[in-house]
Amino acid sequence: MSNITQSSAPTQIDVRGPRFVAWVTTVVLVATLLVSAQHPAAAAVLLGAQAVVFAIGAVSGPRRHPYGRVFAALIAPRLAPATDREPVAPLKFAQLVGFAFAVVGVLGFASGLAPLGLVATGFALVAALLNAAFGICLGCQLYPLVTRLNPTR
């Protein structure tokens, strides 16, 4: 998997992978919003597929994330070696947050509460776009706070 892994520190990955993932996610979420105007049920299906992708990322991490695999196989080999890396745990948490918003969005679109679906999808879109365009991972920013609040850590 090339640049997405690092042999000396397996808990760190190339920052370009999650940014690529965020760009693909942004496209899927924009498509969801566009489709929802005419076909809320189709938006629920599309957002449901993205929820599955978020779940894979949350459980398995960036190395097994479907969009991360695309990055590792097709894009990373064409790039210079990674100079910036980031930890995996906050990225998994960010995917969990995305999953939560996607599930709420799916429930909104599927139950006829389109405004709920739009708002939840919009929140996920803002987070994905911030990461893609500016490298700001909102879930990653929340991760230290959540770990401090967790009494089992």
- Does residue 23 have a pLDDT over 60? yes
pLDDT at 7: 42
The answer to the question of residue 7 being in a domain is no
Average pLDDT over residues 86-108: 96
Residue holding tokens 């064409």? Answer: 78
- Does residue 8 have a pLDDT over 70? no
Give, in degrees to the nearest 5, the angle at Cα 14 between 137 and 19: 40
28 lies in which domain range? 13-149
The answer to the question of residue 18 being in a domain is yes
The predicted model scores a pTM of: 0.88
The answer to the question of residue 5 being in a domain is no
Determine contact, residues 102/50, Cβ cutoff 8 Å: yes
Within 10 angstroms of residue 10's Cβ, the number of other Cβ atoms is: 10
The answer to the question of residue 3 being in a domain is no
Give the total number of structural domains in the chain.
Answer: 1
Q: What are phi and psi of 149, to 5 degrees?
A: -80, -15
- pLDDT band for 109, please (50, 70, 90 cuts): very high
The answer to the question of residue 2 being in a domain is no
Give the model confidence (pLDDT) of 45-95 as tens digits.
999 999 999 999 999 999 899 999 999 899 989 999 888 899 999 999 999
pLDDT at 10: 58
The answer to the question of residue 60 being in a domain is yes
pLDDT at 150: 78
The answer to the question of residue 74 being in a domain is yes
The answer to the question of residue 44 being in a domain is yes
